[in-house]
C-alpha cells in the first residue's frame, strides 16, 4: 500500500515546495515518488537513450539549460497533470505522469524507465505506488486509462501484470514516429514493422487502449 511520508531534511532531493499541488513524497514497493525538481531533472538528463522507436523518451535535450528550464516549468505547473519521478535510494529510476481530468479516466502517460534500470520491476512498482495513492485520493473515482503502442511489449507486460486490460485497439497517427519512419532504414524499422502500416497517405501505429478498475489485483513481481 502506498503511504505518504513526511519530508526529512537530507532524505529527499532538494526542490521547491509544491504543497497543495503534490502530496508529500509517496512511498511504496521499494521506491518513493517525488515531484520533479532541479536535482532530479539533472539525473534524468543523464539517463541512457534508446533511440527509434522510443526516441520520444530520450532525455538528453535536458542537458540544454533553456530546454531544462522549460521542461521543469511544465512539469511543476498547476494544471490537470501531475508528474512524478520514482526514486530508489536517492537515484531517479523512472518517471510517470497522470492526467487527473481526462474525460476517459485517470490517464497515465509518459511512463519511462531508462535502460540502465529496466527489467527489475521499476515500472510495475512505480505505477502500483502511484495508483494506490490515486485510489485513496479518488476513492470511487474513474478507472485508470492508458494507451500503449503495440510494439512496446515490455510496457504491455507490465501493464497486464498491474491489472490493465485492452478495451480497444486502433491505428493511430503519431506524428513523431511517422516522421522518423520516413528516415529509418529497413533494419531499424524491422522491430516495429508488424505494428505499423502505411495507410491514408501516412504512417500509422497500432495502439492499445487499456483500462484498470480501482482495486484490480496487481503483481509487482519479485525483482528488485
Query: Does residue number 170 form part of the binding site for ligand COA (CB under 6 A)?
Result: no
Tell me how far, at minimum, the Cβ of 84 lies from ligand COA, in Å: 13
Tell me how far, at minimum, the Cβ of 100 lies from ligand COA, in Å: 19
Alpha-carbon span 1 to 136, nearest angstrom: 10
**Number of CB atoms found within 10 A of residue 222's CB:** 7
Q: Where are the alpha helices (DSSP H) in the chain?
A: 38-45, 65-76, 122-137, 153-161, 175-183, 186-189
Alpha-carbon span 137 to 17, nearest angstrom: 20
Alpha-carbon span 193 to 188, nearest angstrom: 9
Nearer to ligand COA, 50 or 195 (CB): 50
Strands (E), 5-67: 26-28, 31-35
Give the per-residue contact string, 16-55, with ligand COA (x = CB under 6 A; - = no). Answer: ----------------------------------x---x-
Q: What is the dihedral of CA 185, 182, 47, 221, to 10 degrees?
A: -80
Q: Could you tell me the CA-to-CA distances from 43 to 23, 60, 73, 92, 170 in Å, in that order?
A: 22, 11, 17, 6, 35
Using the contact rule CB under 6 A, the part of the chain among 77-85, 118-126, 172-180, 185-193 near ligand COA is 118-126
What is the footprint of ligand COA within residues 150-169 (CB under 6 A)? 152, 154-155, 157-158, 161
Query: Does residue number 174 form part of the binding site for ligand COA (CB under 6 A)?
Result: no
Which residue in the set 58, 102, 118, 136 belongs to the binding site for ligand COA (CB under 6 A)? 118
Which residue in the set 13, 121, 142, 163 belongs to the binding site for ligand COA (CB under 6 A)? 121
Which residue in the set 75, 106, 113, 134 belongs to the binding site for ligand COA (CB under 6 A)? 113
Cell of 41: 531533472
Nearer to ligand COA, 129 or 148 (CB): 148
Which residue in the set 44, 85, 87, 123 belongs to the binding site for ligand COA (CB under 6 A)? 123
Query: Does residue number 108 form part of the binding site for ligand COA (CB under 6 A)?
Result: no
> Is the separation of the CB atoms in 34 and 12 below 8 Å?
yes
What is the footprint of ligand COA within residues 54-73 (CB under 6 A)? 54, 57
Alpha-carbon span 175 to 204, nearest angstrom: 9
What φ, ψ does residue 56 adopt, rounded to 5°? -65, -20
Residues lying near ligand COA in the complex (CB under 6 A) = 50, 54, 57, 111-113, 118-124, 148, 152, 154-155, 157-158, 161, 221
Amino acid at each position: 500500500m502506498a503511504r505518504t511520508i513526511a519530508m526529512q531534511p537530507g532524505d529527499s532531493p532538494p526542490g521547491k515546495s509544491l504543497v497543495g499541488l503534490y502530496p508529500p513524497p509517496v512511498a511504496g514497493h521499494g521506491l518513493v515518488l517525488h515531484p520533479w525538481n532541479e536535482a532530479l531533472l539533472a539525473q534524468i538528463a543523464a539517463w541512457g537513450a534508446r533511440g527509434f522507436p522510443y526516441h520520444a523518451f530520450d532525455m538528453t535535450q535536458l542537458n540544454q539549460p533553456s530546454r531544462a528550464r522549460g521542461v521543469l516549468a511544465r512539469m511543476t505547473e498547476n494544471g490537470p497533470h501531475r508528474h512524478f519521478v520514482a526514486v530508489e535510494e536517492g537515484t531517479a529510476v523512472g518517471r510517470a505522469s497522470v492526467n487527473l481530468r481526462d474525460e476517459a479516466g485517470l490517464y497515465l502517460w509518459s511512463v519511462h524507465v531508462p535502460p540502465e534500470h529496466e527489467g527489475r520491476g521499476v515500472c510495475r512498482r512505480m505505477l502500483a505506488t502511484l495508483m494506490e495513492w490515486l485510489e485513496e485520493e479518488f476513492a470511487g473515482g474513474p478507472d485508470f486509462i492508458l494507451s500503449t503502442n503495440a510494439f512496446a511489449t515490455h510496457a504491455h507486460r507490465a501493464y497486464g501484470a498491474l491489472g490493465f486490460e485492452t478495451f480497444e485497439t486502433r491505428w493511430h497517427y503519431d506524428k513523431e514516429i511517422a516522421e522518423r519512419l520516413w528516415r529509418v532504414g529497413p533494419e531499424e524499422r524491422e522491430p516495429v514493422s508488424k505494428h505499423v502500416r502505411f495507410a491514408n497517405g501516412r504512417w500509422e501505429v497500432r495502439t492499445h487502449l487499456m483500462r484498470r478498475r480501482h482495486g484490480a489485483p496487481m503483481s509487482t513481481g519479485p525483482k528488485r
